[in-house]
Each structure stands twice: as structure tokens, then as C-alpha cells.
Amino acid sequence: MALFKLGFFVVIACLSASSTASPTSIGRRSVTVTLDGVNYVNKGLVGFGLIPHDFKESTGDSLGGIGSAIALKRGTWAKGSNGTYTGTLLVRPDRGHNIDTTIDYQSRQHEIEFVLTPYTGSENLNFGDAQKTLQLTYKNTTLMFERNNTKTSGLDALAVRPTQGSDPELPIPSEEFSHLSLDVEGLVAAPDGTFWISDEYGPYIYHFSDDGHLVSAIQPPAAILPKDKNGNINFTSVESPTTGRSPNQGFEGLTLDPENNILYAMLQSATIQDGGDDESTSSFTRMVAYNISDDSKQPPLVGEWVIPLPVSNDKGKTRPSSEITFVSENIFLSLSRDGKGMGNDDSESKYKQADLFSIAHATNIQGMKFDDPSNPVAPNGKLDKSITPAKYVSFVDYLNDDDLKRFGLHNGGNFDETLIDSKWESLALAPVNDPKSPDDYFLFTVADNDFLTTKGVALGIPYDAGIDVNNQFMVFRVTLPRPIAKA
Ligand SMILES: *[C@@H]1O[C@H](CO)[C@@H](O)[C@H](O)[C@H]1NC(C)=O
Ligand SMILES: *[C@@H]1O[C@H](CO)[C@@H](O)[C@H](O)[C@H]1NC(C)=O
Ligand SMILES: *[C@@H]1O[C@H](CO)[C@@H](O)[C@H](O)[C@H]1NC(C)=O
Ligand SMILES: *[C@@H]1O[C@H](CO)[C@@H](O)[C@H](O)[C@H]1NC(C)=O
Ligand SMILES: *[C@@H]1O[C@H](CO)[C@@H](O)[C@H](O)[C@H]1NC(C)=O
């Protein structure tokens, strides 16, 4: 199956990717791909910035892991008169450092202001000048609590808090320490000022108020919940469940269709019953959709689809997805990648891309037998013949050599601060507002440095992770036309 898929992806890439001189002429050739008859263009890297590994936030802790989830703060995006853009990014670390073990890290959200001065020249900037294209200023931090002001925790969820009121079973470290365990990987800043986050323990979607208090929790279908051989929920991340999400492969992706109030969440890779216990069979992941129009504590599930993640050329290993972003009806960006680069022991990354997929012709499996864990959509990684998966095409390649060189960066070779980070995990779009290219957007993407620093502080306690990894940010310019509406 892996080999068959491999051929499929190669063919798609050859047929649909072509290089043409870009009309707005960024210092390299742009790349056009076609999906559902629409052309999407990657015009290349236009911004790079970083926050140093040893930076401390307002609580005194190291500012780390911030690329786990990002969102543009509503109402902050502005185009200056001098070609620059300003705004505020909301960023979320996951569960704190995990050097020896998970820690009691309270979930939090930081605000980071930026000035983007897009660089479109063809000369190679040095690393110092490259950082002037995206200047970042940390502002403040909001901590996360339950309704009764109990702090949330990052500790592994070895116990289950039974259902209470409108809350489903919730992940907690232990019965004695009944704090909600969160490992946050997705963020949506809702139009009403509240936040939706997705996590890996549940994997759940949580609604939080603007001041960081839990409002509600959405439990996914039974097929996605981590269950042991007796069918009981066990949220731990240290052992694989018998069915449901794989450990640390939860809802990495979360995004909102703001016009229709549909929230989409995607698993990083296949559930265990769909082949998720092995990287060579874990490519058929699932995306779910919830309708949040009615402000209900339990929004209804309105869709579920199978997304075929890319697989490596050599060993057929799945490239898991660390984020999704809604583009237009049925069309999404997915950030799929390997774990190599700065922060890993192999510096040469083979795949880091923001790709496109379409669910326009995919089977909506919601409410079908596949919501029961005993009916896999892809037993041992082979897709059930009754299901049409999403269509997936290659798009923005983070490892493009011309792009990296123009910003003083590199892939492979020396481990230094100009090596591209390993774990890019977030995406956000902002309109370029260029009347000549009305469909152009800036695509922001941020890496999760896993709190790796030799000068760390967590929960007020110094730590040394043995390596220094900065929090890197990149900005690409892309053309994302809306499909022509059906008559
Ligand atoms: C352009 O304007 C922005 C926002 O007003 C300002 O922060 C920035 O320094 C200016 N840049 C240049 C190159 O003048
Ligand atoms: C963070 O700073 C921004 C402006 O820089 C402000 O609007 C916001 O209220 C602040 N939030 C907190 C939690 O202090
Ligand atoms: C806070 O609320 C949760 C959920 O209702 C409960 O389990 C926990 O015991 C409460 N904690 C305190 C300190 O009241
Ligand atoms: C979940 O599994 C872990 C690891 O086997 C175990 O220590 C823990 O007690 C289990 N928790 C529950 C609620 O069964
Ligand atoms: C979402 O809910 C709203 C309000 O109940 C409804 O009008 C709309 O059709 C629903 N959308 C979907 C896709 O279910």
C-alpha cells in the first residue's frame, strides 16, 4: 500500500507543479499547483524572525514551545504606508518541557507583536539582516484555569475525571491531583474574543474564555478516544491505547470556517485501529467538523473525513500533520513534516511542507460504522474500498534551497542557529491587501522548540536541556484563490 501511495503522490506532484516567473517577482521562481481546477501559487519566503531560546516570559519561565499553535489576534493586522505590516500573534506552548518527564506546567497563551517587512529581493541576506524582516516583541501571558480557578497541568494524564454536568470524562494526572491535563496543539481565536484549543491527551477540543477560564470540552467520536483492551478510556501519552488516537498524535490541527462557524480538528496521524501504531501504516488520518453556531456546550459533529498524509519516498513512512488551516470551502492547508533539523540529532530534513487538500469529493464518514472503534477505516493502513479520501497536493516547501539561502538559513550540515528548526507546528493566514493580487496572503508558520535551552527556567526551577534551539518564525507569500461558486 505504501508503495502504491508513493507512486500516486509522485504523479500528482509532477503533473500539477510547474515553475513560472512570478508577476510580483520575488527573488526566486514561484510554484503553481492545481487542486479541484484552481491554481494555487507559492511565491516564496518573504520573512524570517526568531525569539532566542533563553528568553523568559512574564511568569519567569522560559518562553518555549510557542509554535505549537498560533493565531492572528483579531483586529490587529494592519498594512503600513511604507510597505510594512503590523499585528499580534497569539501563541501557545504545548505542555512544558519533557526532558525527563512531563511537568506540572500551567497552560498559557502569549501575545507577540510583530512588524513584517517582506523581503522579495534575490540577493542572499545575512542571518542578522534576515531577522529584520520579521521583528518580534513579546507582550504578555494569560494563564489557563478551570471554572473554579484550579490551574491546568501539563502532567501526563494517568487518571480520568468522570463526567460532571456538561463535561465529558476529562484527563487528569491522578485522582488526588484532579487538575485538567492539557497538551495544547491547536488554537482558534473566535470572532467573539473567546478561544478554542485542541489537545493531544483527549484528544479534545476545549473552549476557553478570553481571560483563560474553561467554558466547555468537546469529546470526539468513540473511534478517536484512546481506549484500553476493556474499552475503558485511558488518556496517558506513555503507552499506546488499544483503539483511538496514538499517543502524542492527537488533535494537532484546529481551524475555523468563520463564515459557517464550523470548527475542524485533525489527528496528527491515523488512529491505532487505522494503522497508527506503525509509521509505515499510519497515513490515513481523520478530520472532524463541529458546528459551533448555536453556542452549545456540546456542539454537534457535522462531518468526518479521511485525509491521506504524504509518505516518504524511501521507507514509506508517514509525514504526520502538525497543523491545518481553513482556506476556503472544502480546501485546507496541512503542515506535514519529518522531525529532522535543529533540535533533532539528524540535521538534514527531507520534508517540511504546507500542503493543500480538498474534501470536495471525499466521503463524509460521520455517523457511519467507522465511528465505532471496532470498524477501522484503514485496517493495517489499507483504506476501506467504500471510502474516498481527501485529495492531497504538495504546495509550500519550507526546505527550498533558494528561499533558505536568501534568509541566511540552511538545511542539513552544521548544527547552529542558522539551521532550520525541526518541529514546525503552526500556520496562520493574513491578507496581503495588494489590489494587484487580491488573492494573495502571508502564510505565517512558527516552530516548537520543545523548550530546548541550556539556560531554562520552568515552574521557577532552572533546567539545562543540553542544547539551544531558538523559536523560529517564517512568512511565505501565497496566492489562494477562492474556487468559483457553483451556479
Ligand atoms: C514602517 O512603519 C512601521 C509601522 O508604522 C514601523 O514600525 C516601521 O519601523 C517602518 N519601517 C520603515 C522601514 O520605515
Ligand atoms: C496584552 O497586551 C495587549 C496589548 O499589548 C493588551 O491588549 C492585552 O489586554 C494584554 N493582555 C494581558 C493578559 O495582559
Ligand atoms: C474544581 O472543579 C473540578 C471540576 O468540577 C473539580 O473536580 C475539582 O475538584 C475542583 N477543585 C476545587 C479545588 O474545588
Ligand atoms: C492508564 O495506563 C497507565 C499506563 O499503563 C496506567 O499507569 C494507568 O493506571 C492507567 N489509567 C487508567 C485510568 O486506567
Ligand atoms: C450549523 O448550525 C446552524 C444553526 O443551527 C445551521 O443553520 C447550519 O445549517 C448548520 N451548519 C451545518 C454545516 O450543519
Q: Is 17 in the pocket of ligand 1 (CB under 6 A)?
A: no
Give the alpha-carbon dihedral of 149, 151, 157, 162, to 10 degrees. -10
Q: Which of 360, 306, 350, 353 is nearest to 333 (CA)?
A: 353
> Which numbered atom of ligand 4 lies nearest the CA of 159?
13
Q: Is 239 in the pocket of ligand 4 (CB under 6 A)?
A: yes
Q: Predicted confidence band at 29 (pLDDT cuts at 50, 70, 90)?
A: confident
For the segment 79-117, what is each residue's pLDDT rounded down to a tens digit? 998 999 999 999 999 999 998 999 999 999 999 999 999
Distance 115 CA to ligand 1 centre (A): 8
Q: Which of 236, 278, 425 is nearest to 343 (CA)?
A: 425
Q: Which of 149, 152, 78, 77 is nearest to 109 (CA)?
A: 152
* Ligand 5 pocket test target in 293, 298, 364 with most atoms within 8 Å of CB: 293
Q: Predicted confidence band at 10 (pLDDT cuts at 50, 70, 90)?
A: very low
Question: Over pLDDT 70: what percentage of the chain?
Answer: 94
pLDDT of residue 33: 97
Could you tell me the three cell numbers for 14?
Answer: 509532477
- Return left, alpha or beta for 380; rule: phi > 0 is left, psi -120 to 50 is alpha, else beta: left
Q: Is 302 in the pocket of ligand 5 (CB under 6 A)?
A: yes
Q: Which residue has the higher pLDDT, 23 or 265?
A: 265
User: What span, in angstroms and rounded, lies between the C-alpha atoms of 247 and 358?
Assistant: 27
User: What span, in angstroms and rounded, lies between the C-alpha atoms of 303 and 450?
Assistant: 33
Q: Is 178 in the pocket of ligand 3 (CB under 6 A)?
A: yes
Q: Which residue's CA lies nearest to atom 4 of ligand 1?
A: 80
Rg (CA), the chain: 21
Q: Which residue's CA lies nearest to atom 13 of ligand 1?
A: 82
For the segment 214-234, what is each residue's pLDDT rounded down to a tens digit? 999 999 999 999 999 999 999
* Ligand 3 pocket test target in 144, 148, 214 with most atoms within 8 Å of CB: 148
What are the structural domain ranges in the chain?
4-479
For the segment 121-132, what is each residue's pLDDT rounded down to a tens digit? 999 999 999 999
Q: Is 160 in the pocket of ligand 3 (CB under 6 A)?
A: no
Q: Which residue's CA lies nearest to atom 5 of ligand 4?
A: 239
Q: Is 79 in the pocket of ligand 1 (CB under 6 A)?
A: no
**Ligand 2: residues within 6 Å at CB?**
111, 139-140, 142
Residue 360 main-chain phi, psi, to 5 deg: -55, -40
pLDDT of residue 23: 41
User: What span, in angstroms and rounded, lies between the C-alpha atoms of 170 and 163?
Assistant: 7
Q: Which residue's CA lies nearest to atom 5 of ligand 1?
A: 80
Look over the chain and give the mean of its residue pLDDT values, rounded to a whole number: 93
> Which numbered atom of ligand 2 lies nearest the CA of 113?
5
pLDDT of residue 15: 31
Ligand located closest to 135 CA: 1
The reply to whether omega before 373 is within 30° of 0 (cis) is: no
Long-range contacts of 3-10 (CB under 8 A, 24+ apart): 3/316, 5/283, 5/308, 5/311, 5/316, 6/311, 6/313, 6/316, 9/310, 9/311, 9/392, 9/394, 10/313
Q: Which residue's CA lies nearest to atom 9 of ligand 3?
A: 178
Q: Which of 309, 302, 236 is nearest to 275 (CA)?
A: 309
Distance 243 CA to ligand 4 centre (A): 15
Per-residue pLDDT for 486 more than 80? Answer: no
Q: Is 150 in the pocket of ligand 3 (CB under 6 A)?
A: yes
Check residue 324 and report its DSSP letter: E
Q: Which of 157, 165, 169, 184 is nearest to 231 (CA)?
A: 169
Residue 47 near residue 134 (C-beta atoms within 8 A): yes
Q: Predicted confidence band at 27 (pLDDT cuts at 50, 70, 90)?
A: low
Check residue 250 and report its DSSP letter: S
- Return left, alpha or beta for 42; rule: phi > 0 is left, psi -120 to 50 is alpha, else beta: beta
> Which numbered atom of ligand 1 lies nearest the CA of 83?
1
User: What span, in angstroms and rounded, lies between the C-alpha atoms of 140 and 24?
Assistant: 36
Give how far Cα 426 sits from Cα of 152, 252, 378, 472, Å. Answer: 22, 9, 27, 11
pTM > 0.75: yes or no: yes
Distance 282 CA to ligand 1 centre (A): 46
For the segment 395-416, what is each residue's pLDDT rounded down to a tens digit? 999 999 999 999 999 999 999 9
* Ligand 1 pocket test target in 76, 79, 81, 82 with most atoms within 8 Å of CB: 82
State mean pLDDT over 470-477. Answer: 98
For the segment 167-181, what is each residue's pLDDT rounded down to a tens digit? 999 999 999 999 999
Per-residue pLDDT for 18 more than 60? Answer: no
Lowest mean pLDDT among 1-15, 87-101, 341-355, 429-443: 1-15
Q: Which residues, other chains included, contact 314 with Cβ-Cβ below 8 Å and sequence gap of 6+?
A: none
Ligand located closest to 171 CA: 4
Residue 70 near residue 429 (C-beta atoms within 8 A): no
Distance 427 CA to ligand 1 centre (A): 24
Distance 128 CA to ligand 1 centre (A): 18
Distance 216 CA to ligand 5 centre (A): 19
Per-residue pLDDT for 9 more than 60? Answer: no
Ligand located closest to 364 CA: 5
- Residue 127 Cα to chain centre, angstroms: 26
Q: Which residue's CA lies nearest to atom 4 of ligand 5?
A: 293
Residue 220 main-chain phi, psi, to 5 deg: -75, 175
pLDDT of residue 156: 98
DSSP structure string for 331-377:
EEEEEEE-S-SBTBS----S-EEEEEEE-TTS---TTSGGGSTTS-S
